[in-house]
Structure 1
Amino acid sequence: MAQSRLDEWKYSRRRRSRYHHSEHSLSPVGQRCQNSRLEPLECRDLLVQNALFTGDLEMVQKYFTKSAAINLIIENKGDELRWTSRKFGGGSGYCVMGDITGREDKSQEPICTRKADGPAQVYWQALLTGDQGVVAEILSDPQNNLSPNAVFDTSDLEEWKNYRFNFRRLTVNFAPGVKTALHEACAAASTDCVRLLLSFGADPEAVSEDGYKPLHLCKSPDSLECVQQLLQHGASVNSRTEEEDDTALHVAARHGLTDHVQLLLRYGAELEAENKEGQTPLNAGCAQPHQPQDMDRHYRVCQLLVESGASINAADRDRQHPLHLACKNANAQIVELLLARGANVNVMNYSGNTALHNILQATAYKLEHCPELVVQALLNHGAIRVWPGSLLKVLRYCHTCPRVIEALMNSYDHVRVSEEWVEAVPVEVVQKYPRFYQSLFSLEQRPRSLQHLARCTLRTFLEGRLLQVLSQLQLPSALHRFLLLSFEDVLY
């Protein structure tokens, strides 16, 4: 597809070049305008400003003749953006957004293409599809005037589909409102195109409209080689995004990319770098919501970070620790990892919530993640239990996961069950789990079993050191599981 577009463009270019040569060759005045750098003119005409800001090509063509070389600056007072429109004689024109970095050298301003016409259209599509051959052919042809640092603004292609733009071979070190070709290739995980663009001199440190460098857009497992190429060509491993202040390690941890994390750490990524939310990469990895099928790879990322020395008690600006965040996402593997490494099970965040509060609040939304395993782990590591008077409220919120209720109930020797408990559980839920809820409601009339009371006594005696002591006792496996609140789907 991309090759056919390329062939069509080559044919139309030959026709256009003959047409322009015979009928629209530059006059001496036009040539002087093209070859010289005119001093910029200031424009305060609201009609001209409106035409440029709204992209009214017809009005722009009315105000500016084809033979004129335009270097027009619209300058507003205050800190607003400055826009520049330029047109070179004999061409159909293009618009660029002026540099707002305050640099003196304006020759490096980025080109902004709304509709990638001709070679640029083929170029952009080839980048997205990873067609290395087409990209190489276009970049190798000097007549295309396309750079490996070409900038694309593809936000509204449909609106601009009938507009035509010329392209100049300009480098991009700052690109407000656009992405470079390298950004697009990294986002698409087009490894061959990334390698090719870098070999042609693409800037691995170019900044996109959102303040991202190419390294920050490597968010998929397939982009590992892209990361490797960027780092080998001088990309800074600890560069930050402009808005979030994330490093590439934050991005990789957040997306559960174990191989990316390993590679970035080899290149010296900072384990304790904090973003604007105060999150370290471990916090970011624990905080990212994920589907049940992705729980294992997110666990492996956190495991790698912890084994590399990441602080398990690093708190963000809301005093959320990795354990709080892992509980919100109901990832029992990460919770067990953090607890085994000594995470404080009862530390509170700014809202006064402990990790146990967080998992109970998330239970109804994380049923497929098996939240009962998180509750069980927290209780076995000495989590402060819910005040008995609040258990009715917990039942109202967590009744769809009876095993969460079971774990909580089995951590008390006695709980006062009333008629309100029956009313708190919808009939359809009782019908779905009849054995468990009938055993729960029957506790209103009868005490817990002697076996359960013995379990509670031993757990209370070993509070804070339960797991350490049990690991040293040669207990039958069934008794060991019973003491650690194994699930039986019924209360005795």
Structure 2
Amino acid sequence: MDTLLSVATFTANQGFSVSPFLSASKTFRDDELLWDAAKDFQGTGGYTRLMWAAMKGHIGRVRWLLERGAKVNMQTDNGQTALYYACENGHTNIVKMLIAAGANVNEPKSMYIAMFMGHTEIVKELIDAGANVNTADWDNHTLLMQASESGDHAIMRLLIAAGADVNAKTSYGRTPLMFAADGCAETARILLEAGAQQIV
């Protein structure tokens, strides 16, 4: 504990803009006492060490934190989790580790960011772990609509195979096929073959 206090005091005295504990964790990465004592400490913006490690792809540090009971579903001030950052940055093995440790795959931001970044393998991992493929935002804009609009055929096929509703409607009546109309013929073909209804 003396090490923890001395590191925090030193960091504060240096005038770092982030929290003493968070800054110290970056400066003294080999100090396991510090990491263990404050593994779930939330610094500026609500970030934890697990989030930083997941974001940067430090698989060894992620494993170390999880083995010591780091809380896997903590959120930043904006609602992002360690799983979100692993999905955003394409760290598939870390995604697997977080899921195995109990990460919530139905927190929709993780799936949306994985799709937006085109990380098909991660989308598959989330689906295989039980993610709801029909989740929607406040406007009832679904995952399949997003994939259709962007023309990501691989992800579209994954979602459809997992039971995504090809005839879902937004709050203003648009379907995945309507979003596909803004893209290419192949996108529309995939939806039609999956049972999408044409609106005359």
User: TM-score w.r.t. structure 1 length?
Assistant: 0.35
How far is the alpha carbon of 1:146 from its aligned partner?
A: 4.8
Task: Please give the secondary structure, in 1, of the residue aligned with 2:58.
Answer: helix
CA distance in 2, matches of 1:311, 1:327: 17
Question: Corresponding residue for 1:339?
Answer: 160
User: How far does residue 300 in structure 1 lie from its aligned partner after superposition?
Assistant: 0.8
Change in CA separation of 1:197 and 1:318 when aligned onto 2, cut-off 3 Å: farther
The amino acid that maps onto 2:23 is: A
Aligned-partner Cα distance in 1 for 2:41–2:122: 28
Letter in 1 for 2:70: A
Amino acid of the residue matched to residue 259 of structure 1? N
| Counterparts in 2 of 1:319 and 1:231: CA distance versus 1, 3 Å | same
Query: How many residues align structurally?
Result: 194
Q: Counterpart of 1:219 in structure 2: which amino acid? A: M
RCO comparison, higher one (Cα < 8 Å, 6+): 2
Runs of 4+ with >6 A deviation: none
TM-aligned CA distance change 1:223 to 1:262, over 3 Å: same
In the TM superposition, what are the counterparts of 1:56-455 in structure 2 within 5 Å?
Answer: 146-147=6-7, 151=11, 166=13, 178-179=18-19, 180-181=22-23, 184=26, 194=29, 196-201=30-35, 203-217=38-52, 218-220=54-56, 222-242=57-77, 244-273=78-107, 279=108, 281-286=110-115, 288=116, 290=117, 295=118, 298-361=119-182, 363=183, 371-385=184-198, 387=200
Change beyond 3 A, Cα 1:150–1:356: farther
**Structure 2: segments with no counterpart, 5+ residues:** none
Per-residue CA shift, 1:302-333, capped at 9, x if unaligned? 11111111111122222122212222332211
Q: State the 1:256 CA deviation.
A: 2.9
Change (3 A) 1:378 1:149: farther
CA distance in 2, matches of 1:197, 1:181: 13
> Can you give the 5+ residue segments of structure 1 that lack an aligned partner in the other structure?
1-138, 153-165, 169-174, 186-192, 274-278, 364-370, 388-492
TM-superposed CA distance for 1:150, in Å, is 5.9
- 8 Å CA contact 1:299–1:334 kept in 2: the answer is yes
Cα distance between partner residues in 2 of 1:181 and 1:228:
21
Which of the two has higher C-alpha Rg?
Answer: 1
Cα distance in 1, alignment partners of residues 192 and 88 from structure 2: 27
Structure number having the greater helix percentage: 2
> What's the offset of the Cα at 1:214?
2.1
**Could you say if the C-alpha distance between residues 197 and 357 of structure 1 is closer, same or farther in structure 2, counting changes exceeding 3 Å?**
farther
| TM-superposed deviation, 1:182 | 5.4
d(CA) in 2 for partners of 1:348, 1:280: 20
Q: Distance in 1 between matches of 2:24 and 2:186?
A: 44
Following superposition, the deviation at residue 270 of structure 1 comes to 1.9
C-alpha contact 1:219 1:255 (8 A) present in aligned 2 = yes
SS at match of 2:46: coil
- 1-side partners of 2:106 and 2:10: how far apart? 35
Tell me how far 1:356 sits from its aligned partner. 2.3
CA RMSD of aligned residues (A): 3.1
CA offset at residue 203 of structure 1? Answer: 1.6
Q: 1:182 to 1:357 in 2, by over 3 A?
A: farther
TM-score normalised over the length of structure 2? 0.79
* Higher strand residue share: 1
State the identity %: 25
